[in-house]
Chains A and B, each alone.
Chain A
Amino acid sequence: MRKFIFLIYICLFVFNWGKAWSLIEVDITRGNLNPLPLAVSPLSVDQNSKEKFKDLLKLEDIGVEISKVVENNLRQSGLFNPLDPKAFLQKPDIAHVKPRFEDWALIKAQALITGEVKIVDEKLRVEFRLWDVLAGKEIMALAFTTVSENWRRVGHIITDKVYQRLTGEKGYFDTRIIYVAEEGLKTSRIKKLAIMDQDGFNTKYLTLGNELVLTPRFNPTNQMVTYLSYFKNLPRVYLLDIETGIQEVVGDFPGMTFAPRFSPDGKKIIMSFAKDGNSDIYTMDLESREVEKITNHPSIDTSPSYSPDGKYICFNSDRSGYQQIYVMRSDGSKVKRISFGNGLYGTPVWSPRGDLIAFTKLHKGKFYIGVMRTDGTGERLLTENYYQEAPSWSPNGRVLIFYRETKSDSAGKGFSAKLWSIDLTGYNERMVKTETDASDPSWSSLLTD
């Protein structure tokens, strides 16, 4: 997994991010029923580069392929409506130099993305431009160089830049999802850790399926993963270095440790430790190996998640008699219950923006994914289903990914587990493509910021 930390050289050759005169603006705070129509012109490739990429990557036309990645990302976001390339009148190479805005306006495109791909010193060099069709102006231009195998990431980075320019917020496309890949009978499921690009491509399996693994979560730099493994039938929290593949048990606990997450600075792991029928929350400092007990209560305390500033922890406890969400200071003081609606609440996760907590709610036999403010007010349920849980935030705090299971009969017929995503607005609910059945998704931060 060396690719994971490779460098992308970005050079801005035109700096033109002023917003004052821009006509296009996409509001992402409301459900967007009229996605912005735009055109992603296939990136142009000269004949020589095209042949070389064909040899290197077995792709017929790398320019078209990268554009497809961008187009798909923009469509999936629900905010944009990429127009059918068959309707485009202008050739890609000419459009990139001097677009004929009347032609693009004619097909109702409000924005236009053009670009050019070249091979330079065996590397992939991409240049792209974003145009405001109605104003007839270029509003962004960028170029970058990377190793050619990373061509899909080029598409994701372009999408992030366009998304940021048009919405005013950072994107979430050059990211990965770590999850649990599932196979086999419901009564003896085989589970493996898997990692893939946010759009479902480049899946890699990190464990072989010999032991049960659950709830993987990235560290802030996306190089480490913490998860629960039943290795040797001892359920314990593990740490995995994605690049080296080295795994180790976290701490030396005389019982089950579970529900791990990293602290926002990546220095600690917070988790539950169960002993004698009681689960409490602990942290372990990864450098000093110092273990600290954070909660001390005869109830079940689990699913801890830090606020992005590291000052608070939200968690799940049944100390009131039922599963509810609580918030406390990160030293365990000032515990306060925040969920008071009807039903049971679980899996609280603090938004990367700091203002919301996403959760799973069980009420009258239905499962909901919802959000509330960190003081418990403003509860909003985004989606209802037979079974779904474990939301994880996109790095910009605009989208949640979670998993959903279907009903089955006693033989297991009808059962499936899939990843789904939904916008914070409650709109744009989509199944996320995975090679196998999948659960416990966790979203990485942006790989290039």
Chain B
Amino acid sequence: MSLNKIFRNTLLIISASILLSACAVKTTGKMQGDVYTGKDTVEYLASGVPDRVFFATNETVLTTASRETLRKQASWLRKNSKINVVLEGHADERGTREYNLALGERRANAAKDYLMTYGISGNRISVISYGKERPVDSGSNPLAWSKNRRSVTVKAN
């Protein structure tokens, strides 16, 4: 395959994925798709270091914004090496209790894994799932649910 052809194929794939994402992901108010993008429930571990990341319904995949937040957390944790954290995984109320406990655990671990790839020792991170037990927003609507699908990084000491 010529270099030219590879280049052309890559371009095709890129433009296709741009097209696809443009169709699939709709940004409405404080949500992109159904992932929360607002700031009103966010607290800060330090200046410019948000404490939480948000997930799509039934998903445990970290979004681009989530990865950016976690990289900030990682660099802050590297600078403050005495601080340990608990990652609290949560789900929205639209699932069965037991499955949501597992889902919250998986979300918190997705965040933990990402922090670890940025050099934070697993020993400094513990994980707890609250499933649907501790919503931040009591509302029964998509926006409230998107705020509740989250992993929150909390200082443990």
The residues of A with any CB-CB pair to B shorter than 8 Å are 185-189, 212, 214-215, 228, 233-235, 255-256, 258-259, 272, 274, 276-279, 300, 302-303, 316, 318, 322-323, 344, 346-347, 360, 362, 365, 386-387, 389-390, 405, 407-412, 414-415, 440
Contact = CB atoms under 8 A, between A and B. Distances in A.
A408 B137 CA distance: 10
Nearest to A415: B138
A303 B100 CA distance: 11
B155 to A, nearest CB: 14
6 contacts: A186-B135, A212-B133, A215-B97, A235-B129, A303-B98, A347-B96
B51 interface: no
A235 B101 contact: yes
Contact of A233 (B93, B95, B128): B128
Contact of A440 (B94, B97, B109): B97
Given A347-B96, A362-B94, A389-B96, A407 B140 contact: yes
Nearest to B129: A256
Contacts of A411: 138
B110 A277 contact: yes
B103 interface: yes
A410 B98 contact: no
B58 to A, nearest CB: 7
A279 B105 contact: yes
B94 A408 contact: no
A169 to B, nearest CB: 30
8 nearest A-B pairs in the assembled complex, by CB-CB distance? A277-B109, A346-B96, A412-B138, A407-B140, A410-B139, A279-B102, A186-B138, A300-B102
Given A274-B129, A387-B94, A302 B144 contact: no
A281 to B, nearest CB: 11
B85 to A, nearest CB: 14
Interface in B130-145: 130, 133-140, 144
Contacts of B95: 323, 344, 346, 362
Interface of B: 58, 60, 93-99, 101-103, 105-106, 109-110, 113, 127-130, 133-140, 144
A274 B101 contact: yes
Contacts of A303: 96, 98-99
Contact of A410 (B105, B110, B144): B144
A122 B6 CA distance: 95
Given A234-B128, A318-B99, A408-B140, 12 more contacts: A255-B127, A258-B98, A274-B106, A277-B113, A279-B102, A300-B106, A302-B101, A303-B98, A316-B99, A346-B96, A346-B98, A410-B138
Contacts of B60: 277
A325 to B, nearest CB: 11
A215 B96 CA distance: 11
A133 to B, nearest CB: 47
A274 B137 contact: no
A271 to B, nearest CB: 10
Contacts of B93: 387, 405
Contacts of B129: 235, 256, 274
A360 B139 CA distance: 22
A182 to B, nearest CB: 11
B134 A256 contact: no
Nearest to B113: A277
B138 A187 contact: yes
Contacts of A387: 93-94
Nearest to B109: A277
Contacts of B128: 233-235, 256
A282 to B, nearest CB: 13
